Structure 1
Amino acid sequence: MKKNLIGVAVATLVASFATAASAQSSVTLYGLVDAGLTYVNNVQSPAGSGTMKSSQFGMNGGNVQMSRWGLRGAEDLGGGMKAIFTLESGFDVANGSSLGGSNSMFGRQAFVGLSSGFGTVTLGKQTDSVTDYLGPVSATGTWGGTYFAHPGNLDNLNGDAFRLNNSVKFQSANYSGLTFGGSYAFSNTAGSFAANRAYSAGVGYANGPLKAGAAYTQSNGANSNGAGAITGGSPTISFANGYTSLANVNDLRLRTFGAGASYSIGAVTFGGLWSQVRQDANSVDGKVVDNNIEVNGRYALTPALAIGAAYTFTLSKVTYGGGDGSNIVRYHQFGLQTDYALSKRTDIYAEGVVQLASGLDKGEYPTARIGGFSTASSSGRQVLVTTGIRHRF
């Protein structure tokens, strides 16, 4: 009888230790798959020729959010401290290919760090402060997604233009709704400490119906050996002649400032923000300054059905040889979306985006190019309509 009691006690003790051990650490598989049908007019044909135009209709992945899968984990170290990690890989569900470069298995995020009651410190490939603090009050960084990005997505509000390699990042704890943080990304290049480094800082506030954020990010050039803070070139997109002249230089400096807020009244949320992107380089006698002003709103008609709209005005000033002349380009972008939740994890959507470009850039008319779409318009106008399904797991 005693032996049986002792055996039961030992088995119970072992089981309790095993339960406690498993409760102290966890690993979660998560992801998102987004695909749909997309129509775009005035597409350059062949791509980049700028001489012929045609419409394009087909299937695309990542219409609202880029598809991804990942692993995140945490281990309780005691005393309120945890070890954490995240590994996240992007992919194109339309053809199964990976996103983020052929050598980037976890091209979206890959970091490890420590979390405590004061905040979190992480090391690896991570988002910058503009994405973290200004993105949550924008349409592209929340419900609108990929095609609602500002022209060129130069301010990177949705985090899809670039992530920071070799970065050390701090995010504070939540102090009654107030959070702040910053990051520094090393160039990892001998003799060129500042050649391709990047750094950012931001502050956010979220309490009740009010949400606000402000941030700054600076990246210094691109590194041809692919070892810097931002690999594969600087985060620019060539969709106007001035951008073409500055997009591929190795010493390009890009600085992004921004601030914005949103407010909810019942089922209605409306917001606005301003961002400025400055591009300049030592090897090019010129610079580009973009100012974006966005207003957005979303209304939940029912718990399952919501509609949203956003308007962005972008003013780009391109300067060459010390004179600006008529190098002023204006962009008007309108977006409308409706989303219906089939469940907590699956929804269907339909949206349309219109972009209008006007002005002159080095004597040429600018072309429109909706963010997230790979081919520029053949004119100053472009219309995109998409509908699809998104599933989270």
Structure 2
Amino acid sequence: MGEVRKVVSMSLLATGFLLANEVHAQSSVTLYGIADTALLYTSKSLNPQTGANAGSQYSLLNSGSYPSLFGLSGTEDLGGGFQTKFKLESGIDLTNGGFGNSNGNLFGRQAWVSLASPYGELKAGVQFSPLFNAGYATDARGYSMFGSGLVTYIDNVLGTSIFNSNAISYTSPNLWGLQGSVMLAMGGQAGDFQAGRQYGASLIYQNGSLTAAAAFYDGNAGGTVSTVPPTNVAFIGRLLGISYHFGSLTTSASVVNYKVAGSFNNYVVSGGMQYFVLPQLIVDGGVYWTSDRNETTNHSILAAVGAQYLLSKRSAVYTQVGFVNNHGKMNTGLAVNNALYGVTGNTVGVTIGLRHMF
């Protein structure tokens, strides 16, 4: 009898190891990140107290091209085309070791879990909005942290519609190149569903070299979510964008509307290109014209060019040059960090940086 128990125990133990190995083979967790820093020069800088020119500035810039961050992502295969996924992503400030490029919390960039299937993906938690994703897909400079559509985006609405708390979204499967996404984020205020409520939708069409995107966003002020920078600015956003590949050249154009409650009603019209001069050398450029429909004397033009040289698959050195001209009350800046808002007239800026991805 004891021998039988021993055989049974060994059999159960072997089965347990086999099951554990099978589960392990179907699951994965990845640590990833970006470390990006640069030297920044601007010919003018904004005095936040007076709004006047505080003079030229030289500074060490966190995230000159890509946002510095680290995160964990994971996937488990459930079989039949079903998967569970998660992502925890934190922004970092390389200049002081603190939080950066996020809503101010530990995992303030992304913190979500999802169920993916052949019928689409359902996601819950802190996530990017359909408006943000559509803008990223069609921005001429890939939402660089310097001199791109991301600067005009954050200049208008800070972190709103970028980092969405209490959010639930559904993204459809890709059907003949067309993919749709909808999102609802709840403000969390008892007795007032509209306080802090945010929703958005997008359609993105990809067919060979062509990418076309349309997106919408509507967000209310209020709610219980408290973040730094604010992510509950009341505004309505609309976007139409397109990009096309010609071999090593990609051209892009878009129109984005940021209608901020009680403030600007800005339309940002942009266009530009990216070109692989060599497999390891990339140059790009973009122009962003912003006009306030509430007061046409408020307008600006932002232009930037950049070059990056890939030292390896993970590391690159880069430089960027930008120019901005502001009229009226427009305050467009040159960079998300250290130069988000600009002064009236002309300002020139330059970055030289290093980036490593892991």
Question: Which residue is equivalent to 1:299?
Answer: 275
TM-score w.r.t. structure 1 length?
A: 0.81
Q: Aligned-pair distance for 1:12?
A: 7.3
Aligned counterparts of 2:287 and 2:103: Cα–Cα separation in 1: 32
Question: Which residue is equivalent to 1:29?
Answer: 31
Q: Aligned-pair distance for 1:312?
A: 1.0
- Report the residue type matching 1:369 in the other structure: G
- Report the residue type matching 1:380 in the other structure: G
> Would the alpha carbon gap of residues 70 and 10 (structure 1) be closer, same or farther in structure 2, given more than 3 Å must change?
same
- Report the residue type matching 2:215 in the other structure: A
Question: Which residue is equivalent to 2:300?
Answer: 331
Aligned counterparts of 1:125 and 1:156: Cα–Cα separation in 2: 21
Q: Once the two structures are superposed, what CA deviation does each residue of 1:328-376 show, in whole Å capped at 9, x if it has no partner? A: 3111111100011111111111101111012x34xxxx44422414454
Q: SS state of the match for residue 67, structure 2? A: coil
Matches within 5 A, 1:79-98: 79-98=80-99
TM-score w.r.t. structure 2 length?
A: 0.89
Question: Which residue is equivalent to 1:44?
Answer: 46
> Would the alpha carbon gap of residues 314 and 198 (structure 1) be closer, same or farther in structure 2, given more than 3 Å must change?
same
Aligned counterparts of 2:311 and 2:158: Cα–Cα separation in 1: 25
Aligned counterparts of 1:143 and 1:258: Cα–Cα separation in 2: 15
- Report the residue type matching 2:83 in the other structure: K
Match 2:265 to one of 289, 298, 320? 289
Q: Aligned-pair distance for 1:91?
A: 0.6
The answer to whether the 8 Å contact 1:153/1:371 transfers is no
Q: Once the two structures are superposed, what CA deviation does each residue of 1:75-111 show, in whole Å capped at 9, x if it has no partner? A: 1222221111110000101111112455x11010101
Q: Aligned-pair distance for 1:382?
A: 1.7
The answer to whether the 8 Å contact 1:214/1:259 transfers is yes
Q: Aligned-pair distance for 1:290?
A: 0.7
Unaligned 5+ runs, structure 2: 1-7
Correspondence 1:257 to 2:235: no
Aligned counterparts of 2:42 and 2:286: Cα–Cα separation in 1: 19
Q: Aligned-pair distance for 1:161?
A: 7.1
Q: SS state of the match for residue 45, structure 2? A: strand
- Report the residue type matching 1:298 in the other structure: Q
Aligned counterparts of 1:98 and 1:352: Cα–Cα separation in 2: 26
The answer to whether the 8 Å contact 2:140/2:251 transfers is no
Q: SS state of the match for residue 42, structure 1? A: coil
Question: Which residue is equivalent to 2:258?
Answer: 277
> Would the alpha carbon gap of residues 380 and 368 (structure 1) be closer, same or farther in structure 2, given more than 3 Å must change?
farther
> Would the alpha carbon gap of residues 197 and 84 (structure 1) be closer, same or farther in structure 2, given more than 3 Å must change?
same
Moved more, 54-63 or 192-201: 54-63
Matches within 5 A, 1:47-86: 47-86=48-87
> Would the alpha carbon gap of residues 38 and 95 (structure 1) be closer, same or farther in structure 2, given more than 3 Å must change?
same
The answer to whether the 8 Å contact 2:129/2:161 transfers is no
- Report the residue type matching 1:39 in the other structure: Y
Moved more, 193-202 or 206-215: 206-215
Matches within 5 A, 1:236-251: none
Q: Aligned-pair distance for 1:126?
A: 0.6
The answer to whether the 8 Å contact 2:36/2:66 transfers is yes
The answer to whether the 8 Å contact 2:209/2:246 transfers is yes
Question: Which residue is equivalent to 1:186?
Answer: 186
Aligned counterparts of 1:7 and 1:374: Cα–Cα separation in 2: 65
Question: Which residue is equivalent to 1:206?
Answer: 206
> Would the alpha carbon gap of residues 146 and 118 (structure 1) be closer, same or farther in structure 2, given more than 3 Å must change?
farther
- Share of identical aligned residues, percent? 27
Question: Which residue is equivalent to 1:171?
Answer: 171
Aligned counterparts of 2:29 and 2:325: Cα–Cα separation in 1: 46
The answer to whether the 8 Å contact 2:127/2:163 transfers is yes
Q: Aligned-pair distance for 1:14?
A: 5.8
Q: SS state of the match for residue 136, structure 1? A: helix
Aligned counterparts of 2:342 and 2:117: Cα–Cα separation in 1: 49
The answer to whether the 8 Å contact 2:140/2:253 transfers is no
Aligned counterparts of 2:246 and 2:69: Cα–Cα separation in 1: 33
Q: SS state of the match for residue 43, structure 1? A: coil
Q: Once the two structures are superposed, what CA deviation does each residue of 1:154-192 show, in whole Å capped at 9, x if it has no partner? A: 588997874111000111112232111110000110122
> Would the alpha carbon gap of residues 52 and 331 (structure 1) be closer, same or farther in structure 2, given more than 3 Å must change?
closer
Aligned counterparts of 1:160 and 1:147: Cα–Cα separation in 2: 20
- Report the residue type matching 1:347 in the other structure: A
Aligned counterparts of 1:133 and 1:158: Cα–Cα separation in 2: 17
> Would the alpha carbon gap of residues 118 and 139 (structure 1) be closer, same or farther in structure 2, given more than 3 Å must change?
same
Aligned counterparts of 2:112 and 2:276: Cα–Cα separation in 1: 35
Correspondence 1:342 to 2:344: no
Q: Once the two structures are superposed, what CA deviation does each residue of 1:107-157 show, in whole Å capped at 9, x if it has no partner? A: 1010112110111101111110111123211035x2634431366425889
Count the aligned residue pairs. Answer: 351
Matches within 5 A, 1:207-222: 207-222=207-222
Aligned counterparts of 2:247 and 2:287: Cα–Cα separation in 1: 22
Aligned counterparts of 1:27 and 1:12: Cα–Cα separation in 2: 25
Aligned counterparts of 1:166 and 1:155: Cα–Cα separation in 2: 24
